[in-house]
Amino acid sequence: MSRSYLSLGSNLGNREENLTHAIRMLEDVEQIRVEKTSSIYQTEPVGYSNQPDFLNMVVRIDTELSPEQLLDETQKIESELGRVRALRFGPRTMDVDIILFENEKRKDEKLTIPHPRMWERAFVMIPLLEIFENTSNEVFECETVRLYSDIHSGSNRGKLSEKPENK
């Protein structure tokens, strides 16, 4: 059984209903158990800004699927909920990203885990930290992600100095 975190976002149609629908569809997959859900956040679109605000949330699941099988299932949910891929960062009924999958680290043409843009996206990090913070035995994971987030956001917290040269 693997623990994974998914980011859900919607900015077309009935956004809240789309999120609820996606969670129901995840629960309908035999090998997926939805363990926790964050609050829903309304956020400004990133990238292509001339589009409606998004509703975003993060869910924690336990799954017997492999990362590839999980991607197949999340893509099925995206297409069943009518996602139109006209613009890469454009409006969408449902976007599901795999944020973390156990301690998996990979980068291939189909799948990058942890999700490569999670660190710079408040709409991912804030609901993710909300789930971590409500679960005391995830303090370590929480601190690790917070540190990564500081480093990747370019803030001067987290990383004290560049690696000394010639060391």
Catalytic residues: 83, 92, 95, 97
The residue number whose beta carbon is nearest to ligand AMP equals 98
* Range 140-159, binding ligand AMP (CB under 6 A): none
Structure token pair of residue 103:
């301690």
CB 63, CB 49: distance < 8 Å:
no
Examine residue 115 and tell whether it contacts ligand AMP (CB under 6 A): yes
The answer to whether the CB of 5 falls within 8 A of the CB of 100 is yes
Give CA–CA dist 144/138, Å, rounded: 10
Kindly state whether residue 163 participates in binding ligand AMP, applying the rule CB under 6 A.
Answer: no
Q: Give yes or no for residue 97 binding ligand AMP (CB under 6 A).
A: yes
Q: Name the residue among 29, 33, 37, 76 with its Cα closest to residue 56.
A: 37
- Contact between 111 and ligand AMP by CB under 6 A: the answer reads yes
CB atoms within 10 A of CB 152: 16
Q: For ligand AMP, which residue of 25, 95, 121, 127 counts as binding (CB under 6 A)? A: 95
CB of 166 to ligand AMP, least distance (A): 36
Site for ligand AMP in 65-84 (CB under 6 A): 71
Q: Are strands 95-101 and 2-10 parallel, antiparallel or unpaired?
A: antiparallel
Task: Name the residues that contact ligand AMP, by CB under 6 A.
Answer: 71, 88, 95, 97-98, 110-113, 115
